Structure 1
Amino acid sequence: MTLTTSLARGVAPATPGTLHARTVTGELSAPPRPGLTLRFGRGEEPDVDLGVGVDDLGVSRQHGELSYRHGLWWLRNTGRQLVRLPRGRMMHLSTEAIPLDTGYTPLFVKGSGYREHLVELYVAGHDDPGPVSRRTAETVSPKIWALDDDERLLLVVLGQRYLLYEEDARPLTYATAAKQLAYLRPDAGWNERRIEHRIEAVRRRLDRAGFRYPLLHDKSEGRPGDNRLLHNLIKGLVESTTLVPPDLDRMEDDTAWPDSAP
């Protein structure tokens, strides 16, 4: 940890641009010094400054680097395997370096098989003490989005596979959902057109409220199918615990339902 100590020496945690990085095998802090480059990977010092995936031969000995220039920390993948960033963004050996935003950025180094190795990065901003221990603080509750009873039932039917936590879950089609809703609420008048309009209204309302995933069509991309936006909606509601597995109790025994396959 000699290098870690020397990088951190004399730099207050609140210095804007200070980089904090850690993995399961080590951590470091580095000042925003132009020209400074830090390397992470499976190798040992002095080839790398931060070890990651040290027992995984799928991780390169020098798998990535962080360089400070033009007032920003820049991340580059130098390894044979991909590096995964938030929102599914991938970096290859040939990918141009990208700047890190102020605050927290997790990245995952692909390893052997299904293994991925977490590297946590934190760039301090102004009046920012950096990552501090909050082990005794109250837990922040997830954002729960408001849904009325009809909307909740509709989304539970459409997203029942997500609530079963199936791998690569996809929503039911509007046609299949209409059949199941007709069985559950025969007097409610659910049909494909009504489902579509109700889902669009929910998407618009939650998008205005700052939903995590895109819910509206991007005009620059033409008009994609609603299935991707519906997937974003249900995925976000499940991840936020707005919809949870006990919500499936809103649906009756499905043994008498029409076939749910789309």
Structure 2
Amino acid sequence: MTETLSPGHSSLALGVPPAQPGTIYALAIAGGIVFGPREGRTILFGRNRPEVHVCIGEDDRRVSRQHGLLTHQADQWWVSNTGRLPIRLPNSRLLFTDEEPIPLVSGYTPLFVRGSSGREHLLELFVTGSDAQAPTSRHLDPTHPPRNWRLDPTERLALVVLGQRYLLHEARPQPLSWTQAAKELAQMQPDAGWTAKKVEHLVVKVRTRLSKDGVAGLTREEIAEPVGNSLNHNLIQELLTSTTLVPPDLRLLNHPDD
């Protein structure tokens, strides 16, 4: 099975028509291709349209002429990087030139290549499994709310102080240090006995609680050295994406006892 996908084709994230399991759809802004599974089959992608199956970043010379390939081996599709720049996969995983190929799971996988001036070139992939049909519309179904995490007032105040740069939408924010957070908290609550150790103990307690409830990236065992701010960064990101902390919580910086 081989067919082409035209420019402007709907995102593969919306699903694909039923097809033989192992069929791969590959789509960029310039169009794409559909190949059935066959041992040794290879799909090239990159900037040089005449020499690749799927063209990405055609007008961006930071994208290599042949930037990567998709290969079907041992009943699975694999992605390899043959270009100069890394390919970014979900969960910020980077695939560098000549590294071992990474297997693709069934379903939707977006790949990104960063080009000139911060441009991001997207290659959408979809490998069909036994349930590759388009998702069922759920127009009238109730919306599933995000899971809010329980924080007591003291935890909320400390985490708002620690993560205030995120709530302020600063570019590339980082958590405050224990010492910085303790200093600000002590100014707001002079009689509360805030110290760097007290802030650390409180935040570690919250991280441990959320980790036990299934949140990833909150323990040292999960993060490669050097850990740095990664654990607190991951915690604040979880609190933001779950809407446990929201920008209006910044009012606590001026009214800590609310």
- TM over 0.5: same fold? yes
Unaligned 5+ runs, structure 2: 6-15
Shift of 1:113: 3.0
Distance 1:170 1:193 in 2: 19
Counterpart residue type for residue 242 of structure 1: T
Alpha-carbon spacing, 1:42–1:220, altered in 2? closer, same or farther (3 Å): closer
**SS at structure 2 position matched to 1:96:** coil
**Correspondence 1:64-83 to 2 at 5 A:** 64-83=68-87
Counterpart of 1:26?
31
RMSD of aligned alpha carbons:
2.9
Cα contact 2:160–2:245 (8 A) shared by 1: yes
Is 1:124 aligned with 2:109? no
Distance 1:52 1:238 in 2: 33
Cα contact 1:3–1:49 (8 A) shared by 2: no
Counterpart residue type for residue 50 of structure 1: V
Alpha-carbon spacing, 1:220–1:140, altered in 2? closer, same or farther (3 Å): closer
Is 1:96 aligned with 2:106? no
Distance 1:220 1:248 in 2: 29
Counterpart of 2:229?
227
Cα contact 1:72–1:99 (8 A) shared by 2: yes
Cα contact 1:153–1:250 (8 A) shared by 2: yes
Distance 1:133 1:64 in 2: 33
Shift of 1:135: 8.7
Cα contact 2:80–2:98 (8 A) shared by 1: no
Percent sequence identity is 48
Alpha-carbon spacing, 1:171–1:34, altered in 2? closer, same or farther (3 Å): same
Counterpart residue type for residue 80 of structure 1: R
Deviations 1:84-112 (A, max 9, x none): 12233222222121111223222111222
Cα contact 2:182–2:194 (8 A) shared by 1: yes
Alpha-carbon spacing, 1:12–1:171, altered in 2? closer, same or farther (3 Å): closer
**SS at structure 1 position matched to 2:117:** coil
Is 1:251 aligned with 2:253? yes
Counterpart residue type for residue 97 of structure 2: L
Alpha-carbon spacing, 1:134–1:82, altered in 2? closer, same or farther (3 Å): farther
**SS at structure 1 position matched to 2:229:** helix
Is 1:16 aligned with 2:21? yes
Cα contact 2:4–2:31 (8 A) shared by 1: no
Cα contact 2:46–2:57 (8 A) shared by 1: yes
Unaligned 5+ runs, structure 1: 6-10, 255-262
Alpha-carbon spacing, 1:82–1:134, altered in 2? closer, same or farther (3 Å): farther
**Correspondence 1:1-262 to 2 at 5 A:** 3-4=3-4, 13-45=18-50, 47-129=51-133, 131-132=134-135, 134=137, 136=139, 141-211=145-215, 213-218=216-221, 227-252=229-254
Query: How high is the TM-score relative to the length of structure 1?
Result: 0.80
**SS at structure 1 position matched to 2:124:** strand
Distance 1:165 1:73 in 2: 39
